[in-house]
Structure 1
């Protein structure tokens, strides 16, 4: 489950995770632990370019991962929607330590820039890529519920 839902995504996360456009998708991006800004700072960033405009850096050697198997399941019993995706595996990853991953909505996977990526959720993670395969288990990466 996420540690942070970015302000720009509040109220829109279930819609964006339903992947409403023809070439859209969700992408998982690793952030370096060194220089990682606080949740209070990050939550106000409105696109991924802004996320990495301060001291927060993308951990680029592990690469970005498109999320597959994305589902939005309505839970009438608990009055919420659960958002899930397939687990993500990195093969022989190396590089700087990772302090978090961010799931972003990409409105067009065929074009665009980091300024087009809408950050949805941040997940704290302590991982040092050491050449061994690493699988990140994703289960209900976010839940959205009514405040009523």
Structure 2
């Protein structure tokens, strides 16, 4: 695998994505889970427990923002290669997020050689599987040079 290439096999790509997620201490602290990963598209989620809520019982905006940011970075990295970072994003909170799980679905809108523009929907899901859209985000993901290269 070269610096820019990723596995073509969907299961191998998902395994690699899960390994990359597990290497992020903050993601493991939040209990993040990579639910789907294919070129240009990512599904990432976190369990929504009491420690991730703000004072009114809704998901804290920082948790929603983390989820959108990380999902967009994974989606961008799926077309640009694994050495990427977010260079900017905006998020609009549509309604309070309540439920058992927060789920982000990110998709690449346009990918070039060094930049990808990505959109993301963040939904709150309850224990019955009902999903309510609570935030939308758009970001720009860029390739980075790894140390020592």
TM over 0.5: no
* Bigger strand share: 2
Q: TM-score range by the shorter chain?
A: 0.3 to 0.5
Higher relative contact order (CA 8 A, sep 6+): 1
